[in-house]
C-alpha cells in the first residue's frame, strides 16, 4: 500500500499520530479482536475504540466483520495491508512522464501450472478445478482469481514508448498469496517475480489466507482461500524493491526495454523452490483489494532539439 505524503492524504497520515491507534494496530497484528476486547486491553471505553476503528477503517488499514456472539452481534476488527510505504517524492517529476495500465488476472499470455489449480470469475468457477487444460479455456480472460500449486503465469504489459524515450521506473501492484489445499495460514511459498526474463527477486509469502472472509470475495465462493497480501514491486534506477525493501540491484536499464516491445511479467513458484507453496492471485471483485494487476511506468522524454538554433 503506497501513500503519497501530501496534505490531501492528511486523514490517512493522521492514523499514525495517535498512540491509541498505533496500539490498536499492534494488537490486531497478533490476532483479530472485537471492539470490546480492544477496549478492555487498552483500558478505554468501547465508544472511544469505535471512533479510532472508524478512522483506521476509512484509511483502509482495518477491516471489520459483524459476527454472532454470546450476547448478540460482535464487530470483529482485523488488519488489511501487511505493509505501508510512504512516498515522499511525487511520481510526476519534471523530467519524466508516466502511464498506467490495469491488467485483469485472467489475461495472462502464457502459463505452466500444476494442481491444485483453477480459475474463477465473479460469478462461478471457470472449467474444472485441478485440470490445467482449462487455463486455455476461452473464458480464462474473465477470471478474477486464479491459483496453482507450482509453475508460472506470464502477462504482457503494453509498452507505449516512442522514439528515444527510456523507462525510468516500473511499479507493479498486485494481491497475492500462497496456495494450499483448502487453505493454511502457515503455508510458506517462495514466489519469484521476473520481467523480460530477468529475475527481480523472490519473496516468501507466509501463508494461504482463509480464516477471514475477503472484503470483496463473492458470497458464492467456496474455495478455502479468501484473500492475499497487497505487494508493490518498484524497479528504479537504484534497484528493485518490494514494499520498500530491496530485492535486488536490477534497474530498468537492465531489462532491455525498447519501443514497440512489450514487457513480460512472470509470477512463478517452481517445484525446485525451498518452499514450493504455490500462488493464489486476486483481481477485482475478489480478496481485500478491489484491483487488478496495476502497473505504472515512468519514462524520460527525448531532448527536444527542434527549436535549437542551427
Pairing, β 72-79 against β 166-177: unpaired
The domain boundary residue, chosen from 31, 60, 79: 79
- DSSP letter string, 22-47: HHHHHHHHHS-EEHHHHHHHHTS-HH
User: Does residue 307 belong to any structural domain of this protein?
Assistant: no
Q: Is residue 119 located within the same domain as residue 212?
A: yes
Q: Is residue 19 located within the same domain as residue 119?
A: no
Q: Is residue 66 located within the same domain as residue 137?
A: no
User: Does residue 308 belong to any structural domain of this protein?
Assistant: no
Alpha-carbon separation of residue 179 from 73, 101, 175, 192 (angstroms)? 32, 26, 13, 14
- Give the model's pLDDT for residue 1: 67
Q: How many domains does the chain have?
A: 2
- Give the model's pLDDT for residue 259: 74
- Give the model's pLDDT for residue 303: 57
Least confident of 82-86, 118-122, 217-221, 229-233: 82-86
The domain boundary residue, chosen from 79, 98, 128: 79
pLDDT, mean over the chain: 90
Q: Does pLDDT of 183 surpass 50?
A: yes
CA proximity to 132, closest of 153, 154, 112:
112
User: Does residue 305 belong to any structural domain of this protein?
Assistant: no
Q: Is residue 103 located within the same domain as residue 195?
A: yes
* Residue numbers of the domain that contains 175: 90-300
- Give the model's pLDDT for residue 256: 85
**In this predicted model, what pLDDT tens digit does every residue of 29-88 receive, in sequence order?**
999 999 999 999 999 999 999 999 999 988 889 988 878 777 778 889 999 888 888 888
- Give the model's pLDDT for residue 91: 56
CATH number of the domain that 159 lies in? 2.60.120.260
**In this predicted model, what pLDDT tens digit does every residue of 266-301 receive, in sequence order?**
999 999 999 999 999 999 999 999 999 999 999 987
CATH number of the domain that 33 lies in? 1.10.10.10
User: Does residue 85 belong to any structural domain of this protein?
Assistant: no
Q: Is residue 162 located within the same domain as residue 295?
A: yes
Phi and psi dihedrals of 138, rounded to 5?
-55, -25
- Give the model's pLDDT for residue 90: 65
Segment (H or E) for 56? helix 46-58
Q: Is residue 173 located within the same domain as residue 295?
A: yes
Stretch 88-111: mean pLDDT: 81
User: Does residue 84 belong to any structural domain of this protein?
Assistant: no
Alpha-carbon separation of residue 22 from 18, 29, 161 (angstroms)? 6, 11, 43
pTM for the full model?
A: 0.71
Stretch 95-107: mean pLDDT: 88
Neighbours of 309 (CB within 10 A): 3
Stretch 192-202: mean pLDDT: 97
- Give the model's pLDDT for residue 229: 95
Q: Is residue 286 located within the same domain as residue 180?
A: yes
Q: Does pLDDT of 124 surpass 80?
A: yes
What gap in Å lies between CA 35 and CA 85, rounded to an integer? 27
- Residue 94's Cβ-count burial label (10 Å; 0-12, 13-18, 19+) is exposed
Q: Which three cell numbers stand for residue 33?
A: 479482536
Q: Is residue 211 located within the same domain as residue 111?
A: yes
Q: Is residue 186 located within the same domain as residue 262?
A: yes
The domain boundary residue, chosen from 79, 99, 124: 79
Q: Does pLDDT of 161 surpass 80?
A: yes
Q: Is residue 72 located within the same domain as residue 104?
A: no
Amino acid at each position: 500500500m503506497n501513500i503519497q505524503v501530501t496534505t490531501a492524504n492528511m486523514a490517512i497520515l493522521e492514523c499514525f499520530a495517535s498512540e491509541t491507534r498505533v496500539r490498536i494496530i499492534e494488537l490486531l497484528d497478533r490476532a483479530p479482536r472485537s471492539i470490546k476486547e480492544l477496549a478492555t486491553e487498552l483500558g478505554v471505553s468501547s465508544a472511544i475504540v469505535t471512533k479510532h476503528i472508524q478512522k483506521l477503517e476509512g484509511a483502509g488499514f482495518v477491516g471489520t466483520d459483524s459476527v454472532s456472539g454470546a450476547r448478540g452481534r460482535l464487530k470483529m476488527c482485523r488488519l488489511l495491508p501487511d505493509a505501508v510505504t510512504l512516498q515522499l517524492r511525487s511520481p510526476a517529476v519534471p523530467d519524466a512522464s508516466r502511464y498506467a495500465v490495469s491488467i485483469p488476472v485472467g489475461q495472462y499470455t502464457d502459463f505452466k501450472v500444476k494442481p491444485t489449480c483453477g480459475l474463477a470469475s465473479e460469478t462461478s468457477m471457470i472449467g474444472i478445478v485441478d485440470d490445467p487444460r482449462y487455463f486455455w479455456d476461452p473464458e480464462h480472460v474473465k477470471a478474477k482469481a486464479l491459483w496453482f500449486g507450482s509453475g508460472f503465469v506470464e502477462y504482457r504489459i503494453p509498452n507505449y514508448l516512442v522514439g528515444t524515450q527510456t523507462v525510468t521506473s516500473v511499479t507493479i501492484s498486485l494481491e497475492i498469496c500462497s496456495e494450499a489445499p483448502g487453505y493454511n495460514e502457515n503455508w510458506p511459498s517462495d514466489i519469484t517475480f521476473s520481467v523480460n526474463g530477468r529475475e527481480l527477486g523472490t519473496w516468501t509469502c507466509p501463508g494461504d489466507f482463509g480464516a477471514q472472509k475477503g472484503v470483496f470475495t463473492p458470497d458464492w465462493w467456496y474455495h478455502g482461500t479468501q484473500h492475499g497480501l497487497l505487494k508493490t514491486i518498484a524497479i528504479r534506477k537504484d534497484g528493485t524493491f518490494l514494499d520498500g525493501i530491496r530485492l535486488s540491484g536490477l534497474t530498468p536499464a537492465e531489462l532491455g526495454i525498447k519501443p514497440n516491445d512489450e514487457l513480460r511479467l512472470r509470477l512463478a513458484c517452481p517445484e525446485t523452490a525451498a518452499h514450493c507453496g504455490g500462488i493464489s492471485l486476486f483481481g477485482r471483485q475478489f480478496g481485500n483489494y478491489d484491483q487488478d494487476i496495476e502497473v505504472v511506468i515512468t519514462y524520460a522524454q527525448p531532448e527536444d532539439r527542434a527549436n535549437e538554433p542551427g
